[in-house]
Amino acid sequence: MTSVSSVSSVVKALTPLNRIVIASNNPGKLRELEALLTPLGIGPVAQASLGVTEAEEPHETFLENALAKARHASRATGLAALADDSGLCVPSLGGEPGVHSAYFAGRDGERAQRDARNNAKLVARLEGRADRAAFYYCVLVMVRSAADPTPIVADGAWHGEIIAAPRGAGGFGYDAYFLPRGSTLTAAEMPPEAKNRASHRGQALAALAARLRG
């Protein structure tokens, strides 16, 4: 774990009142969170830019993993931290890939290679099934400090189905195979602004913003 002293010089340059460390190294998540947080007047800082390594995610629920990541980033930096834990859930597969979405088909290779294997495994598992319903789920946890006894929690779900062949070059993860309910475009075909408004992550952040305003 990165110590507070190892990042203190960087942290001193930040303004805690409008800066928050994002407990993720996933570039897709970071892009989406930055686009969602900036209009709220919050300057997100990626944990990697402060030398913070990724936290362990040993838990079986999104909430527990998000809380572990938020506390890890806050402990390492002394800043408030925001963590996202999210994934794709397919009811006909017993909720898989769920919290294991990022490593559904193993941990080897770069992120793009893992994504390709994950999607191939998902499509293979669904072959011949009539029920292809799925939903993306996201839980956001914000802590004011590593020992914050009352973390702020918000979540969101984005329902749709898994199609057999990929469509679109945008997004990341399972987006090219995820067709949102009521949409003719997959998540990978949607313009980023439209996806951010509709997505599980956008819904969770809207709920978080409402709680912060309250």
Give CA angle at 183 (92, 177), nearest 5°.
50
d(CA 93, CA 32): 28
Marked catalytic residue, from 85, 115, 155, 175: 85
Alpha helices by DSSP H, listed for the chain, are 4-11, 27-37, 62-77, 111-126, 192-198, 200-213
CB 93 within 8 A of CB 126: yes
CB < 8 Å & 24+ apart, contacts of 204-208: 204/84, 204/138, 204/139, 204/140, 204/154, 204/155, 204/156, 205/33, 205/36, 205/37, 205/140, 205/154, 205/156, 206/156, 207/154, 207/155, 207/156, 208/140, 208/142, 208/152, 208/154
Whose tokens are 């190892």? That residue is: 6
Active site residue 131: no
Which residues are the active-site residues? Answer: 85
